[in-house]
């Protein structure tokens, strides 16, 4: 029986998917928030887990080397669309946030709180409320940007990775590959080999993933090629320093604010 591995269905993971599943494993499609609960419950053996929910699964998992999803200077797919400048989103603002991510939602509120303070944060709107902005991630964000070439779109688009890099001088890591601590040793070895092969063939796998990804999203290939260029998959010491800074700031933020943010 093959071991299930959670695989995020977004374009940013297409190069990983291009390699195929590790030996003895199969991919199970999970958006980031779903992967958190799946690996916590033991429904999958490994996953690229949002770093914003890492504390929720810390007792059950360990990292699979320096692999994940990160960005330096910009992400192109973790975007806040709004009718006013980002840091003018205050206590009277109503926003909608994605339910698919833990890291991105926390990053949004951390950035705003660090500039405006805990008493001047926007409220999450109800499903029927009018809104002043919305946070979108992944393919939804990529497609939204391309749809906003008309005059009826949001006038302001903020890349949260850019804001983090501009204010902290460090990359942002959105997800890390992890494996359950109780995974069979043969599967753990297969995952290590799989990621090692990915590291050696990353450029080839990225190029292979460009045409089908562009076709699926209905965007030009050069746009996807640029997107793949800015996404970090094999993380280095600078990326991991950015992750450590995120964890440190998240801990302080959670002590100051009570927003009811869960592992979703």
The reply to whether domains 3-70+172-239 and 78-170+242-256 share a CATH topology is: yes
CA atoms of 23 and 3, how far apart (whole Å): 9
> For residue 75, is pLDDT > 50?
yes
Q: Confidence band (pLDDT; 50, 70, 90) for 90?
A: very high
pLDDT at residue 264 in the model? 40
Quick one: CA dihedral 84, 88, 91, 97, positive or negative? Answer: positive
Note the pLDDT tens digit of each residue in 9-36. Answer: 999 999 999 999 999 999 999 998 899 9
pLDDT average, residue stretch 48-71:
94
Q: Where are the alpha helices (DSSP H) in 118-236?
A: 138-147, 160-168, 185-217, 221-230
pLDDT at residue 263 in the model? 41
Give the predicted TM-score (pTM) of the model.
0.90
> For residue 261, is pLDDT > 60?
no
Q: Hey, where are the domains in the chain?
A: 3-70+172-239, 78-170+242-256
Q: Confidence band (pLDDT; 50, 70, 90) for 148?
A: low
pLDDT average, residue stretch 171-191:
97
Note the pLDDT tens digit of each residue in 153-173. Answer: 788 999 999 999 999 999 999
The domain made up of 3-70+172-239 has a fold known as D-Maltodextrin-Binding Protein; domain 2 (3.40.190)
**Eight-state DSSP code of residue 45:** S
pLDDT at residue 151 in the model? 44
pLDDT at residue 152 in the model? 53
Question: In CATH, what is the architecture of 78-170+242-256?
Answer: 3-Layer(aba) Sandwich (3.40)
pLDDT average, residue stretch 219-238:
96
CA atoms of 3 and 218, how far apart (whole Å): 33
Q: 102 near 174, Cβ under 8 Å?
A: no
Percent of the chain with pLDDT over 90: 82
> For residue 72, is pLDDT > 60?
yes
> What count of other Cβ atoms lies within 10 Å of the Cβ of residue 38?
19
CA atoms of 12 and 137, how far apart (whole Å): 11
Q: Confidence band (pLDDT; 50, 70, 90) for 262?
A: very low
């Amino acid at each position: 029986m093959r071991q299930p591995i959670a695989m995020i269905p977004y374009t940013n993971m297409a190069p990983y998917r291009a390699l195929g599943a590790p030996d003895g494993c199969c991919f199970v499609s999970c958006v980031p928030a779903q992967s958190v609960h799946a690996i916590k419950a033991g429904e999958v053996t490994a996953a690229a887990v949002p770093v914003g929910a890492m504390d929720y699964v810390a007792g059950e998992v360990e990292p699979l080397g320096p692999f994940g999803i990160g960005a330096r200077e910009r992400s192109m797919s973790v975007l806040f669309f709004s009718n006013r400048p980002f840091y003018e989103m205050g206590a009277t603002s109503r926003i909608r946030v994605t339910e698919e991510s833990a890291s991105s939602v926390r990053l949004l509120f951390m950035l705003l709180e660090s500039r405006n303070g805990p008493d001047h944060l926007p409220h999450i709107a109800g499903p029927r409320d009018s809104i002043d902005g919305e946070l979108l991630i992944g393919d939804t964000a990529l497609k939204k940007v391309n749809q906003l070439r008309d005059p009826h779109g949001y006038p302001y688009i903020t890349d949260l990775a850019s804001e983090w890099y501009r204010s902290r001088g460090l990359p942002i890591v959105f997800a890390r590959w992890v494996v359950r601590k109780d995974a069979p040793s043969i599967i753990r070895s297969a995952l290590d080999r799989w990621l090692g092969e990915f590291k050696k063939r990353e450029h080839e796998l990225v190029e292979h993933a460009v045409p089908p990804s562009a076709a699926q999203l209905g965007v030009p290939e050069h746009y996807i090629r640029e997107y793949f260029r800015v996404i970090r998959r094999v993380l280095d010491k600078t990326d991991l320093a950015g992750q450590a800074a995120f964890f440190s700031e998240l801990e302080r933020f959670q002590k100051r604010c009570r927003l009811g943010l869960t592992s979703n």
